[in-house]
Amino acid sequence: MTVNDMSIMNEYEVFDFGQAKLKLHISKEHRFGTDSLLLGDFAKSSAVNKTVVDLCSGCGIIPITLLPVRPKKIYAVEINKEAVKLLERSISENKISDKIEVIHGDLRLPETLDFSGNTESIDLVTANPPYFVRESGFERGEESQKIARYERECTLSDVVAAAAKLLKFGGVLKMCMTAPRLAECIAIMQKYKIEPKEIVFIRAKATDTARLFLISGKKGAKSGVIVKWR
């Protein structure tokens, strides 16, 4: 699926959605993994004709994968200016500025989340937050990759707090997180009144323990959760 131009900054992925092919620009520092594709697929059923905010959007893989289900609008929130440039380039070349809007800012700041008066009005928030807490071991990769993997610019709590500010009552949060942080993730979601409703454990083989999990929560919902394996 990967198509590479002559330079790293012109590297891109092409997604074939049948009636349309969309180009997503990536770079050595800003690309995506299987976890993002899984999250995008997990979120599709909640995105149909809905207003969506993707936090920690990176190069924009999740907004791009959600387009076939026709959300009303997708806002992609990202702090890194190079990732923002890549996504803006993808939006421009695909002529989808009416469908995806980039918000360049820090999700911890109120002014970042107060775009178009959307506080407490969003139907769906998606997020693939940093998986690892600071000082949890040797931090690998380029600086931008470290920011994406480790809680340097935002924590899991910051992401859930931002989602709680954005979501309307009954709105849905969908995230992907590393399996060892499940209990912490549930506790944080409940702290911000987002009740976990579905958890999907991800493993490479049926005999493996879960490496990641996908989680869906609803703002203001009663307790009760469905657990699945994938």
Domain containing 148 — which CATH number? 3.40.50.150
pLDDT of the residue at 16: 81
Query: Could you tell me if residue 167 is inside a domain?
Result: yes
pLDDT tens, residue by residue, 81-139:
999 999 999 999 999 999 999 999 999 999 999 886 778 999 999 999 998 776 655 44
pLDDT of the residue at 94: 94
CA dist 127 and 132 (Å) reads 15
Q: Crossing angle, helix 182-191 and helix 156-166, to 10 degrees?
A: 40
Boundaries of domain holding 161: 29-193
pLDDT of the residue at 149: 64
pLDDT of the residue at 131: 86
pLDDT of the residue at 222: 97
Query: Could you tell me if residue 118 is inside a domain?
Result: yes
CA dist 145 and 26 (Å) reads 13
Identify the band that residue 6 occupies on the pLDDT scale cut at 50, 70 and 90.
very low
Identify the band that residue 35 occupies on the pLDDT scale cut at 50, 70 and 90.
very high
Global model pTM greater than 0.85: yes
Query: Could you tell me if residue 201 is inside a domain?
Result: no
pLDDT of the residue at 141: 53
Count of other CB atoms within 10 angstroms of residue 140 = 9
- With residues binned 3-state (H G I as helix, E B as strand, rest as coil), the percentages for the chain, rounded to 5, are 35, 30, 35
* Structural contact between residues 68 and 90, judged by C-beta atoms closer than 8 angstroms: no
Query: Could you tell me if residue 223 is inside a domain?
Result: no
Query: Above 80 in pLDDT, residue 211?
Result: yes
Query: Could you tell me if residue 199 is inside a domain?
Result: no
Identify the band that residue 148 occupies on the pLDDT scale cut at 50, 70 and 90.
low
The number of domains in the chain is: 1
Query: Could you tell me if residue 87 is inside a domain?
Result: yes
Identify any residues that bridge with 125 across adjacent strands, giving them in sequence order.
53, 173
Query: Could you tell me if residue 214 is inside a domain?
Result: no
Query: Could you tell me if residue 21 is inside a domain?
Result: no
